[in-house]
């Protein structure tokens, strides 16, 4: 495989909202570059980038994928990131390892929520950007309105380089505003044929051109002076000003086209090579020295010590675990040893690859500025930093979105139960946004992800790859029990069986503790009414009864017990007898203390367009939510609220329905609060019925 200089490499992510056409654009680019011999279609086996069965089945990307191509003697690493809200978690990882991005916007839908979200992530990384307005062949759209919207939402000057030209029949071609040429395309698209601008649209295009030249001239005082003198910029001056504007973020080139019909894609490919930065143009990368806790900076050069970031892990059924990484400095050689600085563990590097979708091309080395893949690393996972053992460095962690949708997994057979942990571990290596935990209160195995479709894909992977079949159901709410009253009660256990009997007699006072008080046990026995050796047994019996619950078999909290009297038998008393006596007395007394249920209350942060705020607040009120406040963020509103967990188990679907997919939220546990009395009896009855069924 050819070796490329650092300045001839481009690392580019395709980002944007789902269904904007990112993968179709990647397929057209790879076709034009000769990587594939036919224009791949999303949703079938011709696609280079969407090759997983679940992606083919659903017709959209669920994983980030990587491919490279050569264009004008440059190597371009193309990272296709998901835009569907169920699979968006891969995108921040992709953004962290590229140097620039192509933001894909559908002319049908315009700027949508995840267009804004991925733009925000790109801003955080100071990425240079191009915009590809896709699907312009569908019908004439409001181009001036879109350009103005870009200005308003992102506070940038969109530099329109290539505009669509229409007639009564539809799209005629793509106009190059700089060269004043119109490019028309055949049925396979590809490289357009240059013609003169049609007379009927010339004035409109000249107006766009004048605005473009002026915006580029404004990036540099000398260019602006020359523009005022001549009213024009030479091609070299234009390229210089545009590159400068892209680099400082003041200008964002806009190219219109159609990915599925491969129109205008050739111009985007030229712009990527000519205007987006190479790794050589970027500053040194910084990280932390794990030994000395100091900042380390390394230049993007192969002569520097190794530093690389793992951005994706794939469980390939044939090659095993594949680890995708970006080398920021130094190089990784096949058949060598490197340090996983994050895990403080040495890794043996076997074969290295460059990726073309699912195709692996063996290489001997991955150098600074490049992206590559290695198979079968032992401990390395997504987000880890690989480095030189003599110069360790750890990069900042990748911030993955928090999961918002949970389900309890029930293995269908004992064999599935034995294999489930291994399968989930492998899948979590691929997908860091997935969270797996065993709830200690409900004893359920919970899997949490970004949405219903996300978890459906996880279950399909478990079945198809690992032969593990499970049922998924809404998780049990981890209610708790407590009391609001006080009582004194006797707990007595007496049993005679012909031989030695059992006898334990206790008097306890049960009273509530403040919220968060837990459990307190006081031994107030005087005069030896109960021998000291039996006191711990009384406490243990009460604690076990609390753990099992009295009202509805949920754990009991915030209770104080005072053991103040009792009696014993010299022969028949035992630790077991007093343990049972304590438990019986506690269960009897709790029902005299106004027992209630507590439910988990979650803190929610919901981000929606301003025109949906009323609907969201009304829905939260219907869910027994308490609005904490509203604040503005650009054109969106952030609603903060406390809402019972029981009301939001399916909030992903509720919010998507109310906002047409334009809203997102985060949720985390905050505190426990009383269940309203009008709801409590139903919960108690259901819990008792479930307990009896499980213990029948």
Residue bearing the bigger pLDDT, 601 or 239 = 601
| Predicted pLDDT of residue 48 | 79
Could you report the per-residue pLDDT of 608-643, keeping only the tens digit for each? 988 999 999 999 999 999 999 999 887 789 999 999
Give every CB contact of residue 491 below 8 A, 6+ residues apart in sequence.
504, 505, 506, 507, 508, 581, 582, 583, 584, 585, 586, 588, 589
CA distance 111 to 96: 22
| Predicted pLDDT of residue 693 | 86
For the chain, what is the total number of helices (H) and then of strands (E)? Answer: 16, 35
How does strand 251-256 pair with strand 157-167?
parallel
Residue bearing the bigger pLDDT, 239 or 492 = 492
CA distance 609 to 654: 15
Among the listed residues 459, 465, 409, 398, the one whose alpha carbon sits nearest the alpha carbon of residue 433: 398
Confidence of residue 30 (pLDDT cuts 50, 70, 90): very high
419-433, 468-482, 673-687: segment of lowest average pLDDT: 419-433
3-state helix, strand, coil in the chain (%, to 5): 30, 35, 35
CA distance 345 to 404: 32
Among the listed residues 428, 424, 348, the one whose alpha carbon sits nearest the alpha carbon of residue 389: 348
Mean pLDDT of the chain: 92
Among the listed residues 486, 466, 481, the one whose alpha carbon sits nearest the alpha carbon of residue 425: 466
pLDDT at residue 525 is higher than 90: yes
Rounded to 5°, the CA angle 20-21-22 comes to 105
Could you report the per-residue pLDDT of 259-273, keeping only the tens digit for each? 999 999 999 999 999
Dump strand ranges (E) for 330-466: 331-333, 336-340, 345-349, 352-356, 359-363, 365-367, 371-375, 385-387, 405-411, 435-438, 445-449
| Predicted pLDDT of residue 114 | 85
pLDDT at residue 215 is higher than 70: yes
Please compute the mean of the pLDDT values over residues 181-196 and round it to a whole number. 90
8 A C-beta contact, residue 213 and residue 233: yes
| Predicted pLDDT of residue 60 | 54
| Predicted pLDDT of residue 603 | 97
CA distance 122 to 116: 10
| Predicted pLDDT of residue 555 | 95
Rounded to 5°, the CA angle 336-341-346 comes to 40
8 A C-beta contact, residue 562 and residue 501: no
400 class by beta-carbon count within 10 Å (0-12 exposed, 13-18 middle, 19+ buried): buried
pLDDT at residue 242 is higher than 80: yes
Please compute the mean of the pLDDT values over residues 108-126 and round it to a whole number. 90
pLDDT at residue 234 is higher than 90: no
pLDDT at residue 675 is higher than 60: yes
pLDDT at residue 243 is higher than 90: no
54-58, 201-205, 524-528, 615-619: segment of lowest average pLDDT: 54-58
Both tokens of 121, joined, read 């992530």
CA distance readout (Å), 448 to 408, 409, 435, 604? 9, 10, 5, 16
Among the listed residues 78, 45, 44, 49, the one whose alpha carbon sits nearest the alpha carbon of residue 62: 49
Three state DSSP letters for 255-300: EECECCCCECHHHHHHHHHHHCCCHHHCCCEEEEECCCCEEEEECC
* Domains, the chain, ordered by start: 8-281 (3.40.50.300), 290-387 (2.40.30.10), 405-473 (3.30.70.870), 480-593 (3.30.230.10), 597-679 (3.30.70.240)
């Amino acid at each position: 495989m050819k070796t490329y200089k650092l300045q001839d490499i481009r690392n580019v992510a395709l980002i944007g909202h789902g269904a904007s056409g990112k993968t179709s654009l990647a397929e057209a680019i790879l076709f034009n570059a000769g990587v594939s011999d036919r224009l791949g279609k999303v949703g079938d086996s011709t696609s280079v980038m969407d090759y997983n069965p679940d992606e083919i089945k659903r017709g959209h990307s669920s994983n980030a994928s990587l491919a490279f191509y050569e264009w004008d003697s440059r190597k371009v690493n193309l990272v296709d990131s998901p835009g569907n809200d169920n699979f968006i978690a891969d995108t921040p990882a992709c953004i962290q390892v590229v140097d620039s991005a192509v933001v894909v916007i559908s002319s049908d839908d315009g700027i949508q929520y995840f267009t804004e979200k991925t733009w925000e992530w790109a801003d955080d990384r100071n990425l240079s950007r191009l915009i590809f307005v896709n699907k312009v062949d569908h019908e004439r759209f409001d181009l001036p309105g879109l350009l103005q919207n870009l200005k308003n939402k992102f506070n940038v000057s969109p530099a329109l380089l290539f505009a669509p030209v229409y007639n009564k029949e539809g799209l005629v071609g793509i106009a190059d505003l700089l060269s004043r040429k119109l490019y028309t395309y055949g049925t396979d698209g590809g490289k357009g044929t240059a013609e003169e601008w049609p007379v009927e649209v010339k004035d409109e295009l000249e107006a766009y051109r004048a605005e473009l030249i002026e915006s580029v001239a404004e990036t540099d005082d000398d260019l602006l002076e020359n523009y005022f003198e001549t009213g024009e910029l030479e091609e070299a001056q234009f390229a210089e000003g545009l590159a400068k504007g892209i680099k400082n973020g003041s200008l964002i080139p806009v190219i219109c086209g159609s990915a599925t019909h491969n129109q205008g894609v050739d111009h985007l490919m030229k712009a990527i090579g000519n205007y987006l930065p190479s790794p050589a143009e970027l500053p040194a990368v910084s990280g932390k020295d794990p030994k000395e806790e100091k900042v380390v900076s390394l230049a993007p050069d192969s002569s520097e010590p190794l530093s690389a970031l793992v951005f994706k892990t794939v469980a390939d059924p044939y090659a095993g675990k594949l680890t995708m990484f970006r080398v920021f400095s130094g190089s990784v050689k096949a058949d060598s040893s490197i340090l996983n600085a994050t895990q403080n563990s040495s890794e043996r590097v076997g074969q290295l690859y460059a990726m073309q979708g699912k195709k692996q091309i063996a290489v001997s080395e991955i150098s600074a500025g490049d992206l590559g893949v290695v198979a079968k690393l032992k401990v390395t996972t997504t987000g880890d930093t690989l480095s030189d053992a003599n110069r360790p460095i750890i990069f900042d962690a990748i911030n993955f979105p928090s999961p918002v949708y949970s389900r309890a997994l029930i293995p269908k057979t004992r064999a599935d139960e034995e294999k489930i942990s291994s399968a989930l571990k492998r899948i979590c290596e691929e997908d860091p946004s997935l969270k797996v935990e065993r709830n200690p209160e409900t004893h359920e195995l919970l899997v949490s992800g970004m949405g219903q479709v996300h978890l459906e894909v996880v279950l399909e992977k478990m079945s198809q790859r690992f032969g593990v079949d499970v049922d998924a159901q809404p998780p049990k709410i981890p209610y708790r029990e407590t009391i609001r009253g006080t009582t004194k009660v006797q707990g007595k256990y007496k049993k005679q069986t012909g031989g030695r009997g059992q006898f334990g007699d206790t008097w306890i006072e049960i009273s509530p503790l403040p919220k968060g008080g837990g459990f307190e046990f006081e031994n107030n026995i005087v005069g030896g009414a109960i021998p000291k050796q039996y006191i711990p047994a009384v406490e243990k019996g009460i604690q076990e009864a609390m753990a099992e619950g009295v009202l509805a078999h949920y754990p009991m909290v915030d209770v104080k017990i005072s053991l103040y009297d009792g009696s014993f038998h010299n022969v028949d008393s035992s630790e077991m007898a007093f343990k049972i006596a304590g438990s019986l007395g506690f269960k009897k007394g709790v029902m005299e203390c106004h027992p209630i249920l507590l439910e988990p209350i979650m803190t929610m942060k919901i981000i929606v367009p301003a025109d949906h705020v009323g609907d969201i607040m009304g829905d939260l009120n219907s869910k027994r939510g308490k609005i904490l406040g509203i604040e503005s963020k650009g054109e969106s509103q952030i609603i903060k609220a406390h809402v019972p967990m029981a009301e939001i188990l399916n909030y992903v679907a509720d919010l998507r329905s109310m906002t047409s997919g334009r809203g997102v939220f985060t949720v985390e546990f905050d505190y426990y609060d009383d269940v309203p009395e009008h709801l409590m009896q139903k919960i108690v009855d259901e819990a008792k019925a479930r307990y009896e069924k499980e213990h029948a």
